[in-house]
Amino acid sequence: MSEFATLTIQASPEFIRLLAQEMVKMQPAATVGRTKPYNVDEFAKAIGVSAKTIRRRIEAKLIRTVPDVGRVMIPASEFERLTGGDGR
């Protein structure tokens, strides 16, 4: 049994956006000035949520994706849109 507990909450898109804005303040400089798209795992790590959360937001059409061969990619502009940060 894990020593960590899991908490699941329902959060509005506005709450997620505000949370992401706060999280971006703690992000490494690797997200600043970025132009290439993120994969789901990279995007989740960059804004501090799980990949599963990102996939749910994509399915709900709350996060835009760009076509790529065999994988889901998220444009850097989505990072900026959701966090107010510089994700180019």
Question: Could you report the average pLDDT of every consecutive run of 10 residues in the chain (88 residues)?
Answer: 66 80 61 79 91 94 89 90 66
Domain layout of the chain by residue ranges: 32-88
Q: Which of 21, 2, 16, 33 is closest to 83 using CA atoms?
A: 21
- Predicted local distance difference test score (pLDDT) of residue 48: 87
DSSP 4-15: S--------HHH
d(CA 76, CA 19): 18
d(CA 22, CA 31): 14
Task: Check if CATH label 3.90.105 holds for domain 32-88.
Answer: yes
Read off the tokens for 51.
């990949």
